[in-house]
Amino acid sequence: MGATEDAAARSVIAGQKPEGIAGRGTSIPRVAGRREWTRETLAAGVRAGDKRALARAITLVENRDALAYELVREIYPDTGRAYCIGVTGPPGVGKSSLISALIRHVRGQERSVGVISVDPSSPFSHGALLGDRIRLADHFLDPGVFIRSMGTRGHLGGLAEATLQALLVLDAAGKDLLFLETVGAGQSEVEVIGIADTVLLVLMPGSGDSVQALKAGIMEIPDVIAVNKMDHPAAKTMVNEVRSILTLDKEREWKPPIVLTEAVRGENVKTLWQKLEAHRSFLEQHDELEARRRRNLAGEVFAVASSRAKTHLENAVADDPELRRLLDEVQRRELDPLTAVREIMEKVFKLDGGEEI
């Protein structure tokens, strides 16, 4: 059955326009896909949940186009309604298959869904995650589901920023539920997933590295853990290992549940969904959801501002011979490093010389 699904998915994908999923296989005239969007038409299209508008808006976000900033500024008051589930874990554990199974489950409850798949190691955006798209392909034609992959386009700082903007676009489009999928468990993925309301970590039996990562505390963020491919003989061992690591964290009020799943056949997906919902209820009952969102957004704003300030500083120094001269003087030991810092800060950020540096 999996093979048939994959074959069908491939043919669907082959016929897909690079722009994304929008408009494929419909009678929408070609020119419509290329029409010039204005802020108004784009905002209206996004609010209406139009797939072409969503695809265009996210491309603009990825390209850091000025129109994307204007769009998000306009639609921002309409956001904050979608619930975002971050899904992370090493490649190949079954994240996409599990998301696909979860979508099938929640679509039965008439909830609309958006998926953003982020691969920090991939420089490409369109079609970069062909594998993911194949697994998610049975949802491509569902008008209540929007799926999009994003790559880094060269620099990581921009990925967290683009992810946030893309999620806001889908939120304003009225999606009830957003899945944010990231590959791996490194710092950059943690930064990207930091915006999610609930984080699901997917592991599979035998992925010892993930257990190490858990131990090292990198993955202290999961709220729910799925041990997928449960038919594997080592599945129970994996659960026990993960459980013993989690008991080390006594501080946390919410104890992350561990669920054994089989994503391809959809086994225990309902239980997994119940655990994800239970985490949401926990947050809501403890007034934690708003607090968590405030923290996440503040963290996001601060991270983006810091990254921009750094770029600004680097450009300013590169463009200003006087500032470059300061660096040369430091190198020649004519000027001490912190005096150079003070002078740079004064000049670039107009900070008062008396301020702490």
Phi, psi of 327 (to 5 degrees): -65, -40
92 binds ligand GDP (CB under 6 A): yes
Task: Give the footprint of ligand GDP on residues 271-330 (CB under 6 A).
Answer: none
Asked if 135 touches ligand GDP (CB under 6 A), the answer is yes
113 by DSSP, 3-state: which? strand
| Residue 95 found at the interface with ligand GDP (CB under 6 A) | yes
d(CA 334, CA 28) in angstroms, rounded, equals 68
DSSP three-state, residue 143:
coil
* Residue 263 in the binding site for ligand GDP (CB under 6 A): yes
**Between 24 and 232, CB nearer to ligand GDP:** 232
Query: Applying CB under 6 A, does 264 fall inside the site for ligand GDP?
Result: yes
Q: By CB under 6 A, is residue 210 in contact with ligand GDP?
A: no
Q: Contact between 171 and ligand GDP (CB under 6 A)?
A: no
Q: Is 118 in the site for ligand GDP (CB under 6 A)?
A: no
Judged by CB, which is closer to ligand GDP: 91, or 123?
A: 91
Residues in the chain: 357
Rule CB under 6 A: is residue 103 a binding residue for ligand GDP?
no
Which of 16, 59, 88, 96 binds ligand GDP (CB under 6 A)? It is 96
Q: Of 162 and 269, which has the nearer Cβ to ligand GDP?
A: 269
| Residue 127 sits in the site that holds ligand GDP (CB under 6 A) | no
> One-letter amino acid identity for 29?
P
Contact call for residue 52 and ligand GDP (CB under 6 A): no
Alpha helices (H) along the chain: 2-14, 30-33, 39-47, 51-62, 66-75, 95-107, 130-135, 157-172, 187-193, 208-216, 235-246, 269-285, 288-319, 321-331, 337-349
Contacts of 252 (CB under 8 A, 6+ apart): none
Is residue 131 a contact point for ligand GDP (CB under 6 A)? yes
94 scored as a contact of ligand GDP (CB under 6 A): yes
Query: Which of 258, 283 has the CB closer to ligand GDP?
Result: 258
The widest CA-to-CA distance across the chain, in whole angstroms, is 73
7 belongs to the binding site for ligand GDP (CB under 6 A): no
Question: How far is 298 from 347, CA to CA, in rounded Å?
Answer: 28
**CA separation for the pair 322, 344 (Å, rounded):** 10
Taking the complex as a whole, how short is the minimal distance between the CB of residue 100 and ligand GDP, in angstroms? 8
The region of 10-18, 57-65, 87-95, 217-225 touching ligand GDP under the rule CB under 6 A is 87-95
Beta carbons within 8 Å of 277's beta carbon, 6+ residues apart: none
Per CB under 6 A, 262 contacts ligand GDP:
yes
- Strands in 145-150's sheet, in edge-to-edge order, are 145-150, 113-118, 177-183, 83-89, 198-203, 224-227, 258-260
**CB contact at 8 A, 157 and 187:** no
By CB under 6 A, name the one of 61, 72, 93, 340 that touches ligand GDP. 93
Interface with ligand GDP, residue 88, by CB under 6 A: no
Nearer to ligand GDP, 2 or 208 (CB): 2
What amino acid occupies position 150?
A: M
Report the nearest approach of ligand GDP to the CB of residue 80 (Å).
28
Stretch that binds ligand GDP, among 86-94, 105-113, 213-221, 342-350 (CB under 6 A): 86-94
Q: Which residues have a Cβ under 8 Å from the Cβ of 258 and sit 6 or more positions away?
A: 225, 226, 227, 239, 242, 243, 246
Q: Is 207 in the site for ligand GDP (CB under 6 A)?
A: no
Collapsing DSSP to helix, strand or coil, 266 comes out as: coil
User: Where along the sequence are the contacts to ligand GDP (CB under 6 A)?
Assistant: 2, 89, 91-97, 131-132, 135, 228-229, 262-264
